[in-house]
Amino acid sequence: MRELDEAEWRARRAAHEARVAVWVTPAAERARHGEPHPVEDFLFTYYSFRRSALRRWSPGLGVVLRGADRRDLAREFVAVDGGAQLCDPPERVRATAAVIAELLARTAGRPASFACFGLHEWAMVHGQSQEQVRHAAYPLRLGPERTTALVEELPVRCSHYDAFRFFPESARPLNAVQPTRATQADLEQPGCLHATMDLYKWAYKLAPWVPAELVADCFDLARRVRELDMRAAPYDLSRLGYRPVRIETSAGRAEYAAAQRRFAEEAAPLRERLRTAAALVAARAS
């Protein structure tokens, strides 16, 4: 058990709240005005963690906040002599943490692949008209027919189930593998952009029993990965200021793979931090 004096934990809480406000406040304004953003709002719409939950600070397990009133903290805090600390996680959270720790360990132990070139986003619109695509407000850079043709010309190698499940039926046989939820731990690999974005999901599923700073670090990486994901997508986002990564060319594919490698390198220590935190949550006696 560690202790944080009041000045220290209040400073950490204020720093966390200021950090996430840069992401949360504009998203709340866009939601209020009904102006969705395909890049910046993805982490708030696709994932289930509320903006208010991202704002909430926690030091994680095993920390006593000296001088704290549990009523001013999340409901998972309990009063202790001289302050407050988190209660032990319930069994369902410990079970989830064990699954997450194993998934992250297996992912980290697998060789990274950098040959998908972001074609998952292209496969998602295979055979669809402009009106049918998910982000219909933004034109397909190559048009529907050329987009579909490219998916059929280049090898599709998507190993991530939560990307593959959005493929239309026409695109599924084109993929080198057929991921399922049951095979996720067998296929997840550290070069995958969506596996990196999902570090945020695994982190918030364990909140508040992991430090809020860790959740925010995963969010920060995920939002930058999402930008590359959409810059390499078939949509023309130039009016939003995004320069496309033209994966339809050899130069664009090389650019994508290089960026993918950089993100994989950045994600590796974050994945290990999260794996360690998840293992601690899983092992915590209630």
Model confidence pLDDT, tens digit, residues 190-244: 999 999 999 999 999 999 999 999 999 999 999 999 999 999 999 999 999 999 9
Prediction pTM value: 0.95
User: Domains of the chain: which residue ranges?
Assistant: 2-283
Q: Are 39 and 227 in contact (CB under 8 A)?
A: yes
Q: How confident is the model at residue 1 (pLDDT cuts 50, 70, 90)?
A: confident
Please determine, for residue 15, whether its predicted confidence score (pLDDT) is greater than 70: yes
Half-sphere exposure of 205 (CA within 13 A, CB side): 20
pLDDT in tens, 25-76: 999 999 999 999 999 999 999 999 999 999 999 999 999 999 999 988 989 9
Q: What is the mean pLDDT of residues 249-276?
A: 98
Please determine, for residue 92, whether its predicted confidence score (pLDDT) is greater than 70: yes
Averaged confidence pLDDT in the chain: 96
Q: How confident is the model at residue 13 (pLDDT cuts 50, 70, 90)?
A: very high
Beta-bridge partner residues of 235:
140
Q: What is the mean pLDDT of residues 258-282?
A: 98
Angle at 170 between CA 254 and CA 120, to 5 degrees: 25
Q: What is the pLDDT of residue 44?
A: 95
Q: Are 210 and 277 in contact (CB under 8 A)?
A: yes
In the chain, which residue ranges form alpha helices assigned H by DSSP? 6-33, 42-45, 51-55, 91-108, 119-123, 143-153, 161-164, 184-187, 193-205, 212-231, 250-283
Please determine, for residue 177, whether its predicted confidence score (pLDDT) is greater than 80: yes
